[in-house]
C-alpha cells in the first residue's frame, strides 16, 4: 500500500536539519519519486557516529522511515533503525525522528565503539 506524503514533509525534514542531496535532480521534483532521502550534520544527530553526517530515507511504498548507523555506504549495510507507519503530522514526525535516533543508538554504539567503551581511538 502506497502512502501519500504530506506536502509539508520536506519542510519538516529541513526544520529538523535533514536536507535532500542535490544529486541527480531529485531535489527539483521530489514528489514525483517514490522515496525521499535527507542528510544531517547536526551534532545531536551525528554524536557517536564515524561519519559526521546521518542519512534518513522515507519509503512511501513500504510505509516506512529509516535512519542509517552513521557509516553510510549503502542502505543494506547501514540501516540502524526503522519506523512504521510514516508520520502524518509535524508532531508525529518529530516524535518519529526522536524514536529513530533513540532506537539507532545501540547499533551505532555496537558498530563504532568509542575509546572509553574499549574501542580504538
Residues 93, 50: Cα–Cα separation, whole Å: 25
53-67 pLDDT, tens digit each:
888 888 888 889 999
Strand partners, 36: 58
Q: Measuring CA to CA, how many Å separate 22 from each of 78, 80, 95, 106, 117?
A: 21, 24, 27, 30, 37
What residue ranges in the chain does DSSP mark as E strands?
36-40, 54-59, 64-68, 79-83
Q: Whole-prediction pTM value?
A: 0.78
Q: In the chain, where are the structural domains located?
A: 9-112
Q: How confident is the model at residue 33 (pLDDT cuts 50, 70, 90)?
A: low
- pLDDT at res. 121: 46
- pLDDT at res. 91: 94
Amino acid at each position: 500500500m502506497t502512502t501519500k506524503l504530506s506536502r509539508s514533509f520536506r519542510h519538516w525534514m529541513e526544520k529538523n536539519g535533514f536536507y535532500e542531496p542535490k544529486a541527480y535532480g531529485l531535489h527539483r521534483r521530489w514528489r514525483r519519486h517514490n522515496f525521499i532521502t535527507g542528510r544531517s550534520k547536526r551534532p545531536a544527530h551525528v554524536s557517536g557516529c564515524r561519519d559526521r553526517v546521518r542519512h534518513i530515507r522515507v519509503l512511501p511504498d513500504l510505509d516506512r522511515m529509516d535512519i542509517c548507523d552513521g557509516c553510510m555506504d549503502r542502505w543494506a549495510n547501514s540501516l540502524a533503525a526503522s519506523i512504521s507507519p510514516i508520520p502524518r503530522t509535524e508532531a508525529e514526525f518529530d516524535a518519529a525522528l526522536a524514536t529513530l535516533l533513540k532506537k539507532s543508538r545501540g547499533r551505532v554504539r555496537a558498530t563504532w565503539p568509542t575509546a572509553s567503551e574499549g574501542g580504538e581511538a
